[in-house]
Structure 1
Amino acid sequence: MSNEQFTITSPLFTANEKQQVQQLLKSFEPQQLQWLAGYLTGLNQANKQILDLLNQFPNVQETVAPAEVANVSATPVTVLFGSKSGNSKSVAKSLHEKLVARGLSVSLQDMNQYNATKLKDEKYLLVIVSTHGEGDPPPAAEDLHAFIHNRKAPKLGGAKYAVLALGDQSYVNFCQTGKDFDKRLAELGGDRIADRVDADVDFEEAAEQWIENVTTKLLAQLNHTNGTSVVAKSTVATVAAPAVKKVVYNRKNPFAATVLEKVQLNGRGSQKKTYHLELSLEGSGLTYLPGDTVGIFAKNNSTLVSEVLAQTKWDGASTLVYKDHLLSLEEILTSHVELTTVSGVLLEKLLHYAEQKKNEKDAAALKTILDNKKELVAFLYGKDVLDIVLDYAHGITAEEFINLALPLQARLYSIASSIKEHEEEVHLTIGQVLFETCGRARKGVCSNHIAELLNVGDSVDVFIEKNESFRLPENENTPVIMVGPGTGIAPFRAFVEERAATGAKGKNWLFFGDRNFTTDFLYQLEWQRHLKSGALTQMNTAFSRDTDKKIYVQHRLQQNAVEIYKWLKEGAHFYICGDAKQMARDVRNTLIDIVEKQAAISHEEAVHFVKELIKAGRLQEDVY
């Protein structure tokens, strides 16, 4: 029995009830308390008084003796996650809690901190990993991903494993990192206990189903199937449901936010159009931290919809069933399916369609494209769904197309404000995507909706998406270096506002770049005020078109190499936001070069130094 002493101070119980609860808890074995903690944590968050009471109890999991754990399961289970925004981490924590609540010995491990040499000793390994950019592992998973693909990677000897891959179908190499882990673990001798699941941005339902499937199969393997569901059912019945269910706004139930302000930030004559957008969150209950993002649901541009209908000769007024709703084809194309972004997933669907229809020419062409992974991104650059349908889906009907098309997803934007400075508001910095290729004008879905259609007083559907891997240091005295050219400046406006609002003492150094000083210095007056007040310690700018030789942010970093290395030695955190394909890569390489030269170490040692910054959370990226 437990010898823990529980002190209950909550007014939830009478004196007699407090004594009864205390006696009951003391009668439980530590493992029973562990199960209870995991089970109650999973109950509806609305039952806040129970959770408040639970939070006053000691963390039982830390006090469980190894011998007692061994009695529950002689073989420990490792839940391993590799996360960029925090989604993989949240799923892994849910899985961990579920397994612990069923009496298993479970280790929750971040790939960033995992000792890869322990792979050979794993018996049960459950992997949740996201994909970063065009098929790359997130920074936290880079080392382990490289390790398992090394020739010296250990054999797993029949270790049981399962993989949940998180990704975004709008990218060419959807869930590629999860696919890599799944394939390689099998090649190393692992035994798959459940099929891999590839989850899109709406990952919650798929993740829940994967967790249930993996838990069931794992319990069957370890012979832990005795009566858990019966206990859960009877316990749930004793918990009173709240009288009023609070409305929760999220991706599946977005909030209609009113536009408070819309300002074009670029000056007259600029080749770019960048908008500052202020949205009201009043009445939503939504909150956020600097580093988080806002998802916006927008409609496809009417010109593109008209072009699709004209080129395919489909009837926009015809009605079709789409996800159990009878809608006009024009409405489906406008509000429900993806038209501007082409992904590998869509190409694979069209390949399967061509094979079914025995259209050998289209099938052969699509197979050639998909087989050349290295050239796939370049091939699709600038193309939209209409290009692909016209060239590789000859004869496809409207009904066949909407059954293959990917759903129109929200577009995510870095938050450009601190809620401490702008209560019940969220600000965004959005660059209009507008270009021409293959004889047609191309427009970004959301940026053009905002630029052309959205006005002050209008509303737009939004939700908040957390980004746990892009956060200010917990210690307010820690210096920070921020590199954000173009719209990459957005989260750093939030960072500086937050530190100013909280009175943080840490130094703040900002690097910003764009085309021209006179037309493209985003938030110039605000930065000048922050410099004057001391909220911003130092700022360096790089305007690439103002000189004969193009100057970018990485050049300004190099010019300040001595001071940057000094800040890093003082413990500074380094942040990058913006273009992933070139800018972020160039900045990382410049940082490695600075460390190599200032510390007088080898290139390999400098690379290791920067990797250690990533592992310690001192180098963080929000790139796209």
Structure 2
Amino acid sequence: MSYPPLSGLPINSDTLSELQKNLSGLNPLQTAWLSGYLWARSQQMELLPAAAGTAASAPAAAEALAPVLILSASQTGNARRVAQTLLEKLTAAGVAAVLKNAGDYKSRQLASERLVLIVASTQGDGEPPEEALTLHKALFGKKPPEVKSLQFAVLSLGDSSYPDFCQAGKDFDSQLAQLGAQRLFDRVDCDLDFQASADEWVEKAVAWLVEHESRNAPAADAATSVQALISEPQVHEQIYTREKPFTATILTNQKITSRQSQKDVRHLEFDLGDSGIRYQPGDALGVWFKNDPALVDSILSCVSLEGSEMVTLADGTALEIRDALSSHLEITQNTPAFVKGYAQIAQDQDLLDLVADSKLLQDYIANTPIDVVLRRAPTALTADQLHGLLRPLTPRLYSIASAQEEVGEEVHITVGLVEYEQDAKQYLGGASGYLNRRLESGDEVDIFIEPSAHFRMPQDPATPIVMIGAGTGIAPFRAFMQKRDANDEAGESWLIFGNQSFKDDFLYQLEWQQLAKSNRLSRYSFAWSRDQNEKIYVQHKLLKEGAQLWQWLQNGAHLYVCGDASRMARDVEAALLEVVAREGGLSADDADAYLDELRESHRYQRDVY
């Protein structure tokens, strides 16, 4: 960026040169904020007494307050977007603030913070998102950071269909208070339709900070503020987003498991055309899907609706209830709110008794589709009543299985069909049924890219990588290897992959064999759980080949895990801890600390779901 020539400068050329170098890293929003910040600072300096320039003013300058810290703990991108909105609103209001990804934040730094706003999502069984695991463990560890001088507030995002709703945010909130930090205002817990509640919390936080921060001294030294802003990773907005998706054409929809396999896994390729969409290995593809017309008909029939009745969505759009059920409302995932609401309307005693027991309710919604609830206790509903019981439809995210260095203007994903039976009726997952069973080449789908800051290849292409995955968890590793192959990267690569059967479930078999033949794939270990009497899973391979794994770690390898969070990823972590303790001669606590160090240095990353 070039700057216009200036004359009569009140600062010397060296200072100006340094300032211009720092400013070159700012985006327009940050530049606008800095302009306002420096103007406000100049006004405050004019009001200082004449003696302000003397040595007596030095202590006041030394006590300049640090910017407000916003910590984003995101799994699918929602918390990150809310945190970004909070930063923009604080910036516009003249409050000095910085946004950090929890995965890039050292937990010990909490001791030196004065005011932290945490936006946290929850994954799996009430666990914090991947990027916040180290921070969470530090707060609950034997030597948590000193936070008695800290002020904080928490916004928690979750899914009420899970028993530990918003648990990660609850944990951060309660533990910080337990450790002596001061809560600014009550935590807010948001469900999947989080936007309205999140917006209200953001506005409350901004209002509080504008009122209280305006009475404080300047937030930081100008050079420090500039450097803090520059150190933040820049958010490069895509033209197409979750709210404004790109309509892509399906190029390929191919089954990649055998006819004898118990699984229906598809490889799908989408044409990005001239959209300009860019992505990296490790990112996810968001898919907006349409619900099964047969399921829509079933629900309408159960509540005695024709389908032509009109409803109004949250954004003010008026449309027929059939269209709302097809494209705008969640009907494939049951929730406690749905069962509780329907029980009150239907006044069905069995349902009323059920909702009174939270454990029974959770078991019930996990195994009972929405139309089964309606069919077992039939009651006529108005279209508005039905609409009010259902959550807005949310897109599904799939790990991207391609690298643009290899496939150009395409994006690939690997989709396993979710299917189960209830009351002698076959049910399919919302998005997987849509993609695997109802679409074919030439059809169009609304998609967007969801960046994944916590699942990235090493910056140094010579770094060894160990890729551990099961089932469709192989997807991002296909992308990793496509990038390494296309760029002729020299780093060693080890794939540890598990599935049911070598003959029926070896996903992308020919590609992996070719990579091994060309020595691009340096090492491979396979766990076929049903090819012998004894079940063998990837964690068993880790334990068996622990000596080699430890040597790879000693050589600087990065570990990647992709797959099911509640079972596979948990078992893999237990195996890793055992290997580190055994091969490294460490205690259980020291092995845990070693793995935490790997995670904090981004050498241990997981993409789990």
Deviation at 1:551, TM superposition (A): 1.4
Q: What residue is the counterpart of 2:282 in the other structure?
A: 291
- Structure 2 gaps of 5+ residues are 36-56, 220-236
- Structure 1 gaps of 5+ residues are 1-8, 45-49, 51-65, 229-245
1:445 counterpart letter in structure 2: G
Is the contact made by 2:138 and 2:145 (CA closer than 8 Å) also made in structure 1?
no
Tell me, what secondary structure is at the counterpart of 1:413? strand
Deviation at 1:177, TM superposition (A): 1.3
Structure 1 pair 589–157 and aligned structure 2 pair: CA distance change class (3 A):
closer
CA shift digits 1:448-489 (9 cap, x unpaired): 112222111111111110001001011111100001111111
Q: What residue is the counterpart of 1:340 in the other structure?
A: 332
CA distance in 1, matches of 2:125, 2:344: 27
1:561 counterpart letter in structure 2: G
Structure 1 pair 156–396 and aligned structure 2 pair: CA distance change class (3 A):
farther
Which of these residues, 138, 141, 148, is aligned with residue 132 of structure 2?
Answer: 141
More off after superposition, 68-77 vs 394-403 = 68-77
Which of these residues, 34, 40, 46, is aligned with residue 28 of structure 2?
Answer: 40
1:41 counterpart letter in structure 2: L
CA distance in 2, matches of 1:22, 1:299: 62
Is the contact made by 1:126 and 1:162 (CA closer than 8 Å) also made in structure 2?
yes
CA distance in 2, matches of 1:291, 1:21: 51
Is the contact made by 2:304 and 2:381 (CA closer than 8 Å) also made in structure 1?
no
Q: CA RMSD in A?
A: 4.0
Q: What residue is the counterpart of 2:263 in the other structure?
A: 272
Residue pairs, 1:86-485, within 5 angstroms: 88=79, 92=83, 95=86, 111=102, 123-146=114-137, 148=139, 160-168=151-159, 171-186=162-177, 190-199=181-190, 210-224=201-215, 248-323=239-314, 324-343=316-335, 347-348=336-337, 351=340, 362-369=351-358, 372=359, 378-389=363-374, 396-485=381-470
CA distance in 2, matches of 1:402, 1:451: 27
Is the contact made by 1:25 and 1:33 (CA closer than 8 Å) also made in structure 2?
no
Deviation at 1:594, TM superposition (A): 1.0
Structure 1 pair 479–423 and aligned structure 2 pair: CA distance change class (3 A):
same
CA shift digits 1:133-177 (9 cap, x unpaired): 232112443354355567997996685322122345665544331
More off after superposition, 310-319 vs 429-438 = 310-319
CA distance in 2, matches of 1:537, 1:329: 55
CA distance in 2, matches of 1:477, 1:540: 21
Q: What residue is the counterpart of 1:234 in the other structure?
A: none
Asked if 1:492 is matched to 2:477, the reply is yes
Is the contact made by 2:116 and 2:152 (CA closer than 8 Å) also made in structure 1?
yes
Is the contact made by 1:309 and 1:316 (CA closer than 8 Å) also made in structure 2?
yes
Deviation at 1:96, TM superposition (A): 5.3
More off after superposition, 320-329 vs 544-553 = 320-329
Tell me, what secondary structure is at the counterpart of 1:161? strand
CA shift digits 1:416-441 (9 cap, x unpaired): 00001011100111111112134321
CA shift digits 1:75-110 (9 cap, x unpaired): 764433434456645655665576577776656665
1:40 counterpart letter in structure 2: P
Is the contact made by 2:302 and 2:374 (CA closer than 8 Å) also made in structure 1?
no
Asked if 1:598 is matched to 2:583, the reply is yes
Tell me, what secondary structure is at the counterpart of 2:447? strand
Structure 1 pair 504–108 and aligned structure 2 pair: CA distance change class (3 A):
same
More off after superposition, 518-527 vs 354-363 = 354-363
Structure 1 pair 359–187 and aligned structure 2 pair: CA distance change class (3 A):
farther
Is the contact made by 1:362 and 1:393 (CA closer than 8 Å) also made in structure 2?
no
Is the contact made by 1:86 and 1:469 (CA closer than 8 Å) also made in structure 2?
no
Deviation at 1:22, TM superposition (A): 7.7
Asked if 1:618 is matched to 2:603, the reply is yes
Structure 1 pair 443–349 and aligned structure 2 pair: CA distance change class (3 A):
closer
Q: What residue is the counterpart of 2:548 in the other structure?
A: 563
Tell me, what secondary structure is at the counterpart of 2:426? strand
Q: What residue is the counterpart of 1:18 in the other structure?
A: 5
Is the contact made by 2:496 and 2:538 (CA closer than 8 Å) also made in structure 1?
yes
Deviation at 1:530, TM superposition (A): 0.8
Tell me, what secondary structure is at the counterpart of 1:441? strand
Tell me, what secondary structure is at the counterpart of 2:407? coil
Tell me, what secondary structure is at the counterpart of 2:126? coil
Is the contact made by 2:253 and 2:436 (CA closer than 8 Å) also made in structure 1?
no
Is the contact made by 1:85 and 1:469 (CA closer than 8 Å) also made in structure 2?
no
CA distance in 2, matches of 1:415, 1:494: 7
Structure 1 pair 404–114 and aligned structure 2 pair: CA distance change class (3 A):
same
Percent identity, aligned pairs only, is 37
Deviation at 1:199, TM superposition (A): 4.9
Structure 1 pair 219–528 and aligned structure 2 pair: CA distance change class (3 A):
same
Tell me, what secondary structure is at the counterpart of 2:285? strand
CA distance in 1, matches of 2:198, 2:388: 23
CA shift digits 1:485-538 (9 cap, x unpaired): 111110000000011111211100001121121121111111111111222111
Deviation at 1:547, TM superposition (A): 0.8
Which of these residues, 529, 533, 548, is aligned with residue 544 of structure 1?
Answer: 529
Structure 1 pair 172–115 and aligned structure 2 pair: CA distance change class (3 A):
same
CA distance in 1, matches of 2:406, 2:366: 39
2:133 counterpart letter in structure 1: E
